[in-house]
């Protein structure tokens, strides 16, 4: 079925209980993450008061740090399939990841199903909030904000799904033990229908969410986050007028480029002036269940981290001489960082992702538990605005945007006014600006219509007309008795 089978086997109680157990996002940064494990309750019994409404939304944020959404499945699907990353680690370690590097995975690949399940887990948590919070007697403004946060997060999950699989089942009500077979096993919606739901959720949430929060609520979705994600969605749909207008709205909200590109990716640089949305992470003493993000851990240089998803030589070569983003993106074998950490001279790999680097000793709960995952920031919005402006023939605007990004990187401004040449330069800037950061590179190549050409040049066995999307997990097709249909070529 389209919703992970464990949802129905365990019912709503298991889904909600597990999500809360991950650790929630509550009133301040510590309590955002430091949530004591809860007993598993039925959703209808759980959503009875304002505090539980907040905790229900917190569980959605907490799920963003879960293994399928932050570690192997997420990085294999979004990053290892691109020309930016190799498997890393040692030859025999997690050898199944080679299938993503070479595009030899099949519909039986459990890592793909893990990615699918993680997104639908998040969607189900969103749907629970949207179904159960409205009747609660509570502060009306807070209620509206919580519902808007849930819509933003549901849109985020569906955007991840539609880019990876094309049309998927569209589920906007929570699953339960009383759901009908048709409700549990809906047919695949079209890609267009999924995008329509995403746009609706983001449009509605952007009208309600605040521009900013106080210090006790840093990390929650804002108006800027909803507008930024909607601008990105419209870029993927090639709706250039909307992408331009929406990105300009974000640019008018007071964000500013961080002056130091590399410092932006250290723990001290989290939630800075450029940040629009980040998955919050923190190591909490005595609560490793809540300190559960492994995004940095699986990418960290050995022996501190696991050493996977390393920069390719092609990515390293993509940076221009003098680009400050290269030393901020790539750690080298044998290098000693400014913070005093030495990457061993005999490290298994020549490069590691510096954006996942957390200085200092490994914490009690593992490596890099304090490293947020950067999802949206102003640098990307400027490049979305530049791309849209160029497609609409607004060359001066496009150049101004892309050159703000380049000047911060220590590079000379671009001067070309040729539309095709400028498009290629903007695409190149997008690659090096966002490298190994938010999982967009593969999907960018697909939307740009050059995935096959670029990836086959790197030795990947990409098949046009097939590998633009991933296979629907075969186990999900089997559970539905064939109600779910497979993508072409799989």
For residue 18, pLDDT over 70 is answered with no
Q: What's the confidence (pLDDT) of residue 42? A: 55
In a domain, 151, yes or no: yes
Task: Name the token pair of 415.
Answer: 């001067």
- Mean pLDDT throughout 52-57? 97
Q: What is the pLDDT of residues 393-446, one digit of tens each?
A: 999 999 999 999 999 999 999 999 999 999 999 999 999 999 999 999 999 999
Task: Name the token pair of 243.
Answer: 């992408």
Q: What's the confidence (pLDDT) of residue 175? A: 74
Q: Give the count of domains, the chain.
A: 1
Q: What's the confidence (pLDDT) of residue 33? A: 44
Measured between alpha carbons, how far is 88 from 313 in angstroms, rounded to an integer?
A: 12
Sign of the torsion angle spanned by Cα atoms 254, 260, 262, 263: negative
Measured between alpha carbons, how far is 385 from 395 in angstroms, rounded to an integer?
A: 11
User: With bands split at pLDDT 50, 70 and 90, how would you rate the model's confidence at 353?
Assistant: very high
For residue 31, pLDDT over 60 is answered with no
Nearest to 463 by CA among 451, 474, 471, 473: 451
Residue with the two structure tokens 């995403």: 198
In a domain, 297, yes or no: no
Measured between alpha carbons, how far is 280 from 85 in angstroms, rounded to an integer?
A: 24
In a domain, 287, yes or no: no
Residue 235 neighbours by CB under 8 Å, 6+ apart = 243, 384, 387, 388, 447
Distance from the first to the final alpha carbon of the chain: 18
Contact assessment for residue 186 and residue 213, using Cβ atoms and an 8 Å cutoff: no
Q: What's the confidence (pLDDT) of residue 290? A: 86
CA triplet 57, 439, 416: central angle to 5 degrees? 125
In a domain, 399, yes or no: yes
Nearest to 367 by CA among 302, 289, 286, 280: 302
User: With bands split at pLDDT 50, 70 and 90, how would you rate the model's confidence at 15?
Assistant: very low
Measured between alpha carbons, how far is 226 from 205 in angstroms, rounded to an integer?
A: 7
Measured between alpha carbons, how far is 142 from 263 in angstroms, rounded to an integer?
A: 34
In a domain, 316, yes or no: no
Kindly report the CATH number assigned to the domain that includes residue 156.
Answer: 1.25.40.390
Measured between alpha carbons, how far is 203 from 294 in angstroms, rounded to an integer?
A: 32
In a domain, 315, yes or no: no
Q: What is the pLDDT of residues 315-351, one digit of tens each?
A: 999 999 999 999 999 999 999 999 999 999 999 999 9
In a domain, 46, yes or no: yes
Residues in the chain: 490
Q: What is the pLDDT of residues 135-193, one digit of tens each?
A: 999 999 999 999 999 999 999 999 999 999 999 999 999 877 777 777 778 999 999 99
User: With bands split at pLDDT 50, 70 and 90, how would you rate the model's confidence at 20?
Assistant: very low
Report, in this order, helix, strand and coil percent for the chain, each rounded to 5. Answer: 50, 5, 45
Residue 14 neighbours by CB under 8 Å, 6+ apart = 6, 7, 40
Range of the domain at 150: 5-279+375-479
Measured between alpha carbons, how far is 115 from 295 in angstroms, rounded to an integer?
A: 14
* Percentage of the chain lying above the pLDDT 70 cut: 91
In a domain, 60, yes or no: yes
Task: Name the token pair of 241.
Answer: 């007028």
* Mean pLDDT rounded to a whole number for the chain: 91
- pTM above threshold 0.85: yes
């Amino acid at each position: 079925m389209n919703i992970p089978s464990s949802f129905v086997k365990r019912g709503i109680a298991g889904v909600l209980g597990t999500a809360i157990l991950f650790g929630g996002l509550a009133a301040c940064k510590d309590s955002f993450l430091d949530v004591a494990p809860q007993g598993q309750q039925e959703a209808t019994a759980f959503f009875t008061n304002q505090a539980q409404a907040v905790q229900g939304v917190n569980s959605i944020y907490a799920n963003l740090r879960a293994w399928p959404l932050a570690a192997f499945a997420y990085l294999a699907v979004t990053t290892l399939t691109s020309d930016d990353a190799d498997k890393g680690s040692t030859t025999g370690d997690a050898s199944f990841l080679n299938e993503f590097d070479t595009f030899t995975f099949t519909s039986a690949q459990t890592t793909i199903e893990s990615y699918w399940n993680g997104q639908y887990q998040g969607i189900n948590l969103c749907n629970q909030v949207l179904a159960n919070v409205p009747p609660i007697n509570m502060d009306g403004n807070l209620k509206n904000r919580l519902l808007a946060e849930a819509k933003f997060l549901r849109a985020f999950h569906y955007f991840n799904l539609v880019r990876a699989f094309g049309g998927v089942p569209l589920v906007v009500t929570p699953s339960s033990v009383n759901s009908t077979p048709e409700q549990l096993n809906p047919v695949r919606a079209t890609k267009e229908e999924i995008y329509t739901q995403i746009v609706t959720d983001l449009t509605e949430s952007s009208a309600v969410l605040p521009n900013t929060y106080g210090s006790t609520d840093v990390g929650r979705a804002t108006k800027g986050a909803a507008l930024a994600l909607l601008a990105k969605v419209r870029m993927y749909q090639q709706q250039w007028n909307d992408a331009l207008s929406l990105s300009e709205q974000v640019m008018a909200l007071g964000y500013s480029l961080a002056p130091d590109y590399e410092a932006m990716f250290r723990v001290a640089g989290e939630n800075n002036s450029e940040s629009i949305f980040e998955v919050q992470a923190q190591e909490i003493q005595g609560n490793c269940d809540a300190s559960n993000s492994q995004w940095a851990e699986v990418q960290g240089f050995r022996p501190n981290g696991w050493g996977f998803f390393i920069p390719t030589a092609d990515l390293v070569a993509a940076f221009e001489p003098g680009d400050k983003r290269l030393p901020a993106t790539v750690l080298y074998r044998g290098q000693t960082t400014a913070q005093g950490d030495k990457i061993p001279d005999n490290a298994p790999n020549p490069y590691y992702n510096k954006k996942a680097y957390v200085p200092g000793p490994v914490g009690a709960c593992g490596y890099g538990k304090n490293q947020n995952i950067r999802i949206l920031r102003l640098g990307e919005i400027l490049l979305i605005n530049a791309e849209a402006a160029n497609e609409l023939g607004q060359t001066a605007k496009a150049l101004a945007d892309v050159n703000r990004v380049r000047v911060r990187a220590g590079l000379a401004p671009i001067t070309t006014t040729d539309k095709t040449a400028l498009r290629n330069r903007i695409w190149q800037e997008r690659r090096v600006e966002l490298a190994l950061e938010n999982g967009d590179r593969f999907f960018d190549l697909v939307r740009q219509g050059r995935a096959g050409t670029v990836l086959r040049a790197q030795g990947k066995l990409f098949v046009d007309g097939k590998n633009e999307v991933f296979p629907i997990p075969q186990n999900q097709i089997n559970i539905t008795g064939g109600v779910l249909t497979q993508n072409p070529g799989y």
